[in-house]
Each structure stands twice: as structure tokens, then as C-alpha cells.
Amino acid sequence: AQSVTQLDSQVPVFEEAPVELRCNYSSSVSVYLFWYVQYPNQGLQLLLKYLSGSTLVKGINGFEAEFNKSQTSFHLRKPSVHISDTAEYFCAVSGLYGGYNKLIFGAGTRLAVHP
């Protein structure tokens, strides 16, 4: 069965500090990987995605993620966070399951940036 595990439900961090949000997945098929951000009372916004090619993917707002196939991980990083980065972050995996394309989400990581 396919699954996505976000290892931290909450990550508190001070402003301007670096942050890493961890994501591991399990799948027996080729996958595409995504990070979405959800600000309070809003829908999901795509941060970045890995489809193929370079394993280091750069996204919006200064975020980047690295696909590690051997460790089945897709951790999200930012070298210096801002207060405005406070939000819920979802890792997701997409693949062909049971005949249709499916997006499976992790439980989310709440990033709280403190001044």
C-alpha cells in the first residue's frame, strides 16, 4: 500500500532560522512527489514538485526539497524562515494506482515561526 509519512506534526522555529520538514513515502511504483502549503482558512498552494531529473527541486518562497530514492524521502528545507511562512505543509505522492492517477497526502506538518 502507498503511504506518506510526515515525521513531525509540529515544528516550532525562530524567525531567520533554517528549517527542515521531513517526508517519507512508500510505494512500489514510480512516483511523483509534491509539497503543498496551506495558509489559515485557505486551500492548498503548490510549493514545488519532483517529476524527474535533478533530485534537488526549487520552489516558491525560497523553499527547496531533495528527492532521495534510496531513503524514500522528500524533505523540504528553507535556509531562513519568515513569520509569513507559518502554515500547514503537506507532502504528497502521485502515481498510477488501481488504474487511475492518485494523489496521497501526508497528515501535514504545522510550521510555527516565532519572532
Which residues contribute to the site for another protein (CB under 8 A)?
A: 9, 32, 34, 36, 41-46, 49, 51, 90, 94, 100-103, 105-108, 110
Residue 37 sits at the vertex; the CA angle it makes with 34 and 40, to the nearest 5 degrees, is 155
CA–CA dist 20, 93 (Å, integer): 18
E strand or H helix at 5: strand 3-6
Q: How far is the CB of 67 from another protein (least distance, A)?
A: 14
Q: How far is the CB of 44 from another protein (least distance, A)?
A: 4
Q: How far is the CB of 42 from another protein (least distance, A)?
A: 6
Q: Which is nearer to another protein, 86 or 105 (CB)?
A: 105
* Distance in Å from the first CA to the final CA of the chain: 41
Q: Which is nearer to another protein, 13 or 44 (CB)?
A: 44
Q: Which is nearer to another protein, 20 or 105 (CB)?
A: 105
Q: Which residues of 34-43 are buried (b: 16+ CB within 10 A; e: fewer)?
A: bbbbeeeeee
Q: Which is nearer to another protein, 16 or 39 (CB)?
A: 39
